[in-house]
Amino acid sequence: MEEWYSAIESAGDVEGLEEIRIAVFGKKGVLAAEFAKMKSAPNEQKSAIAKELNIHKGRLTKQLSERKNILQTLELERAMKAEAIDMTLYSPTSSSGALHPVMETMDRIVEYFSMMNFAVKTGPMIEDDFHNFEALNLPKYHPARDMQDTFYFKDEMLLRTHTSPVQIRTMLSHKPPIRMIAPGAVFRRDYDITHTPMFHQVEGLLVDEEGKVSFANLKYILEDFLKYMFGDVDVRFRPSFFPFTEPSAEVDISCIFCEGEGCRVCSKTGWLEVLGCGIVDENVFDAVGYENVSGYAFGLGVERFAMLIHRIGDLRSLFEGDIRLLEQFR
Ligand code: DAH
C-alpha cells in the first residue's frame, strides 16, 4: 500500500490525482482487490486484515482530498498569472474625456454659491401649472406666460420653462430662513443661434425675517459672483420686469470681448446681459403661506455663461456633440 501514499504526494495536477483515485478506490482498484483477497484468508485473520485495510482507506481518502486542495490552489494561481492584465500600463491609443463645457460652468457656479452657504436643491423637469406659473405670480392668461411658451402634456402638466418652480417647492417644504440655489435643465419652444429647446439654468433664493433682506444684499452677492466667474468686469443693474420679483432688475457685465468699447457681440453697447433678479414679490410669499419675511431671487442661463467664458459663437454647437469642439476642453 505504501507506494500509493507517495504516488498521491507526487501527483502534479488534478487530472493525475484523479487517475490515482480511480486506481485505489475504483471498482477494479487496489482496495477492492485487497478486500476480495481477504475473503480467502483464514477466518481468525480476517478481522485483523479488514481493520488494517479500513485504516488505509481512511488515511488515503484524507490524503487525496488534501492533495486535491493544494493542486487546485496552485492551478488557480497559475491561471491568474497567465491571464493577468496590467491595469497600470500606459496606452498611447486611448484618450481621456472631460466635462462638457456647460457642466463645467454649472459646477463653477454651484461652487461659488456653496462657498456662500447656499444649499443645492432640485425639482422635477415635468412640472405642474401651479409650481411653474401660478405660484410665481403668473396667473392663467397673463401675457407674461407668452415669453415662456413651452411643451404641454395633458392635465396641466408641462416641461418646466425655468428653475423658478424649485423656489416654490423649497418654500412649501421648508420653514424660513432659506438660502438655496437650483441648477437644472429647462425647456422652451425656441430654436435659433441663441436659443435651444433645452438649456440649463441656475436659480437662487434667499429668504429671512421681514426687513432683513435688501436690494443692497442682492447687489453685493451678484457683483461678487460675476467677478468670480468673469474676472475684473464692471457690473450694472437695469430696472426690468419679472412677475415673481418687485422691484426686478436685469444685470449686465461690461463686454469681455471689447472691454466696453462696443463690438458686434455686445451690439455696440459695451454691455452683455447675464442674469435676472429682484426682491421676491409678496404674491409669491402669499402663494406658499409665508408671513413677515423678505427675500431676493435671481436666475441665470448656464449656456450663456459658458459661451461667454469660452467665446463660443453659436449656442447650438454646444449640443451637436461634435468632437472637434469638445476636444478643445480636455
Ligand atoms: N425665471 C426667469 C427666466 O427664466 C429668470 C429669473 C429672473 C429668475 C429673475 C429669478 C428672478 O429668480 O428673480 O427667465
In this model, does residue 93 exceed pLDDT 90?
no
pTM tops 0.75, yes or no:
no
What pLDDT score does 56 carry? Answer: 94
Q: Per-residue pLDDT tens for 29-69?
A: 999 999 999 888 899 998 999 999 999 999 999 999 999 99
Q: How far is the CA of 52 from the centre of ligand 1 (A)?
A: 95
Which among 216, 151, 202, 206 has a CA at the least distance from the CA of 176? 206
In this model, does residue 215 exceed pLDDT 80?
yes
Using a 6 Å cutoff on CB, does residue 132 contact ligand 1?
no
Once rounded to an integer, what is the mean pLDDT over residues 164-190? 97
Q: How far is the CA of 77 from the centre of ligand 1 (A)?
A: 63
Question: Could you tell me which residue, 273 or 191, shows the higher pLDDT?
Answer: 273
Cα–Cα–Cα angle for 184, 189, 193, rounded to 5 degrees: 85
Once rounded to an integer, what is the mean pLDDT over residues 71-78? 94
Using a 6 Å cutoff on CB, does residue 243 contact ligand 1?
no
Using a 6 Å cutoff on CB, does residue 298 contact ligand 1?
yes
Q: Are 205 and 297 in contact (CB under 8 A)?
A: yes
What pLDDT score does 194 carry? Answer: 77
HSE, side-chain direction, 13 A CA sphere, residue 153 = 10
**Which domains can be identified in the chain, with CATH numbers?**
2-83 (no CATH), 101-329 (3.30.930.10)
Mean of the per-residue pLDDT values of the chain = 93
Pairing of strands 157-159, 126-128: antiparallel
Using a 6 Å cutoff on CB, does residue 203 contact ligand 1?
yes
What pLDDT score does 312 carry? Answer: 85
